[in-house]
A and B are shown apart, each in its own frame.
Chain A
Amino acid sequence: MVDVPLGVAGVPPAEVEDVELYHPKSWVTHYVFSQDAKIIAVQYSVTALSIGLVALMLSWLMRLQLAFPGALSFIDADAYYQLITMHGMMMVVYVLTALFLGGFGNYLIPLMLGARDMVFPYANMLSFWFYLLAVVVLFASFAVPGGPTGAGWTLYPPQSITAGTPGLAWGIVMMLVSLMIFIVGFTMGGLNYVVTVLQGRTRGMTLMRMPLTVWGIFTASVMALLAFPALFVGAVMMLFDRLLGTSFFMPEIIEQGARLPYGGGSPILFQHLFWFFGHPEVYIVALPAFGIVSDLISVHARRNIFGYRMMVWAIVAIGALSFVVWAHHMYVSGMNPYFGFFFATTTLIIAIPTAIKVYNWVLTLWRGDIHLTTPMLFALAFIVTFVNGGLTGLFLGNVVVDVPLSDTMFVVAHFHMVMGVAPILVIFGAIYHWYPKVTGRLLSVPLGQFHFWVTFLGAYLIFFPMHYLGLMGVPRRYYEMGETAIYPPSAHDLNIFITVMALLVGAAQLAFVFNLIWSLRHGRGAGGNPWRACSLEWQTSATPPPHGNFGKELPIVYRWAYDYNVPGAPEDFIPQNQPPLAGEIASRAP
């Protein structure tokens, strides 16, 4: 069960002497320019969640336009494309990536590994401020002449930098610069997460004793360090095409009879660069979610995770495979059709490690002592949603099925299910789970249950009908369906239904925001370990954890993070830093 024999008298001595912490001297260095990973995590999370609310409101406007075309006078085709672009880019990069890696990564990695802090706290601080600068530049593009870019979140050239696309003057430049700043900032953070996991663990914490949350975030960080360079290079080249008149991505173009000063470039090159980043990005978001949901299920079902080793290898395998599937986003791009065969094959192979994970989650639940707490509800909802989104992925991964479905609402429904709703359900679950550690207070349960049911059911009411629209052939990125005869009236009615549901689900998030703020003062006191969990972050000397995370002595780890309901143990969980119990070796020899 555990790879290292329990209780073979011991644990190796400390290889690195305890770090000397940076002690902030003023309120500003304590809470604003903080070098403490826990504060940085909260800064990241609050920023990302705020952007999430903005992006949610952008999606409301889009939905209103689709359901009631022309009802909102300020939304014309240009505005609609700007909404779609900003919603997509914000959600994928500035919310999900930042929240999982910058937020949960910063908070959980040092605490779960028994470290005092990240290994480079100063670079960690810079990481957040670069991120904030990127966000400021992104939001500033709402205020510049011509508004933000409307190129779609994939920013495909040539349309993204030719006339007719809104935001040609300033918006696209701001977007590319913002992405570059984000990547620089992320690199500083990502190096921290990776090195902390590799080199900064406490005594007894082997890689194969790490909670799966850390495995997920670690693998995602490595992937991000290797995938973001492609986006960076693509952004630099497109910026040159736009500002210097180079033609990396720009073929010869005749515009209204006039030849543009471009020629000889390859638009498909950008798509390759973009998706070499873009596909790993899906798993950069999904792997931390996989890890976190494994821990939530194990804790709240009071049962050890099933097949821990396979779960780890599945995470690593998915991470590696995701670098060789990128062109499945490009079946209709005009690339060599033979590529489609290769990329369809690699894409479908990913289903194997993913299926291993789903089976293991379900087998963890099997005969478990399931507590339907709010985090558990979100975790269960994730499994269902992820399976749904994954199955439509099989449709889209096959070339012949993908071609007719390309650029329809089916694609929108698929990726919202699999990388929108599913990871966000995990984010909610994780916040309900770790909020007591961050603040010392539990979130309100009735509000949480209300939030869960509205969000979970509502998300299905929004996105299930969208699959149907897509199968009917309703295209994505059209700002109105118009009076086209090929769509039956039911399509228009469904659009209205989806919009009403989107408004309801969006509004229900206010309950979550209220819960977060209200419980900060009025929540029930949580104590140090309200969920009776094994992993180290629940064994800190105080809650919320103090500067330096643990008391004078760092914890020593004797076991994996999943010792729930061990026969013969006095309680139904054994913390990771609990030395072997009497008689444990005999009964639980690996």
Chain B
Amino acid sequence: MVQISLRNEADEARQSAGLASIAADLSSDQRAFKNVSWGKAMMWIFLLSDTFVFSCFLISYMTARMSTTVPWPNPSEVFALEIGGTSFPLLLIAIMTFVLISSSGTMAMAVNYGYRRDRITTAALMLATAVLGAAFVGMQAFEWTKLIHEGVRPWENPWGAAQFGSSFFMITGFHGTHVTFGVIFLIAIARKVLRGDFDTGRRGFFTSRKGNYEAVEIMGLYWHFVDLVWVFIFAFFYLW
């Protein structure tokens, strides 16, 4: 039989900080990212790919906005909310952004409680995140309804370049779809947590494989990503 011992050089290099440790990990066997599970690695790489999707959407929108010869509608006026006769620019968007960023906070707490095996608190925090996410999508639906009533369509709008409506519905729609999927998965994983699937080793309905509490963290990665994307959409679409 083969004698197995630890390779000391690699261990030492790993303890050393900085680039040397990265090089040591990458040149080691089995795993390029030590202590990163398969699921977590997959989510990170998926998010990288998804970043390219949103980048392409945003760059296309910016190209359209910069190259159009028709004036672009003023976002401060278009996205203003009138309360008691006063027009508040970007009020609804500010609330939506606040809600979504807050949901990242509850998500982060859920991850923490998940690793403490506190099932009730974890599930409650995940459901709170889902409620905040659903509220965001609800406000987005309200925003869409308002704009549609004012005559904004994907192919035209009363104020200027037609690409305003096209880009707006496409980009916020695509982001809203991401949030909606996130809410669905939050509820599904919260249910698993509450039922104790990750303690009893109950197998998934589709995959017939066991899960663990890391699912909460992987869910969290996705959720934070969706929030981060919103920050960019907020900056490039509403503030520009």
Contacts and interface: CB of A to CB of B under 8 A. Distances in A.
Contact of A14 (B30, B50, B162): B30
Contacts of B64: 248, 264-266, 269
B3 interface: yes
A206 B45 contact: no
A519 interface: no
Interface string B206-234: 11111000000000000000000000000
B32 A233 contact: no
A264 B53 contact: no
Interface stretch (A224-232, A313-321, A532-540): A224-232
Interface string A213-257: 000000000000110111011101100100011111000000000
A313 to B, nearest CB: 13
B95 interface: no
Contacts of B86: none
A14 B30 CA distance: 8
Nearest to B49: A225
Interface in A189-204: 190-192, 194-195, 198-204
Interface stretch (B67-75, B122-130, B139-147, B187-195): B67-75
A229 B53 contact: yes
B82 interface: no
Contacts of B4: 10-13
Contact of A195 (B42, B53, B60, B165): B42
Contacts of A190: 49
B149 interface: no
B38 to A, nearest CB: 4
A22 B3 contact: no
Contacts of B52: 225-226, 229-230
Interface string A267-296: 001000100100000000000000000000
Contact of A10 (B2, B48, B165, B170): B2
Contacts of A3: 27
Contact of B32 (A198, A203, A245): A198
B26 interface: yes
Nearest to A231: B56
B166 A195 contact: no
Interface string B157-190: 0000111011000100010000000000000000
A233 B56 contact: yes
A248 B161 contact: no
B155 interface: yes
B29 A205 contact: yes
B56 A199 contact: no
B17 interface: no
Given A13-B6, A191-B45, A225-B49, A22 B209 contact: yes
Contacts, number: 158
B83 interface: no
Given A10-B4, A229-B49, A579-B2, A265 B163 contact: yes
A589 interface: no
Contacts of A229: 49-50, 52-53, 55-56
A203 B52 CA distance: 34
B63 interface: yes
B28 interface: yes
B57 interface: yes
Interface centre among B29, B45, B162, B207 (most CB of A within 10 A): B29
Given A10-B5, A191-B46, A557 B29 contact: yes
A119 B49 CA distance: 18
Interface centre among A190, A192, A195, A237 (most CB of B within 10 A): A195
Interface string B36-48: 1110011001101
Nearest to A11: B4
B154 interface: yes
B25 to A, nearest CB: 10
A198 B49 contact: no
A140 B137 CA distance: 35
B27 A187 contact: no
B57 A266 contact: no
Contacts of A460: none
A199 B32 contact: yes
B34 interface: yes
Nearest to B31: A199
B170 A237 contact: yes
Contact of B166 (A122, A191, A200, A247): A247
A20 B211 CA distance: 12
A237 B174 CA distance: 12
B34 A207 contact: no
A556 B1 CA distance: 11
Contacts of A240: 154, 166, 170
A491 B114 CA distance: 73
A263 interface: yes
Contact of A226 (B36, B37, B48, B60): B48
B236 interface: no
Contact of B38 (A4, A12, A13, A199): A199
B2 A15 contact: no
A119 B29 contact: no
A225 B45 contact: yes
Given A203-B29, A226-B48, A119 B42 contact: yes
A15 B38 CA distance: 12
B29 A201 contact: yes
A8 to B, nearest CB: 7
B171 to A, nearest CB: 10
A247 B163 contact: yes
Given A191-B42, A248-B60, A261-B155, A16 B207 contact: no
Contacts of A246: 154-155, 162-163, 165-166, 170
A228 B53 CA distance: 9
Contacts of A13: 4, 6
B175 to A, nearest CB: 13
7 contacts: A9-B5, A15-B31, A187-B46, A199-B37, A206-B29, A236-B174, A237-B170
| Top-8 shortest CB links A-B | A246-B166, A229-B52, A233-B56, A245-B155, A229-B53, A122-B207, A225-B49, A119-B38
Interface of A: 3-4, 8-16, 20, 22, 119-120, 122, 187, 190-192, 194-195, 198-209, 225-226, 228-230, 232-234, 236-237, 240, 244-248, 261, 263-266, 269, 273, 276, 556-557, 579
Interface of B: 2-7, 10, 26-34, 36-38, 41-42, 45-46, 48-50, 52-53, 55-57, 60, 63-64, 67-70, 154-155, 161-163, 165-166, 170, 174, 206-210
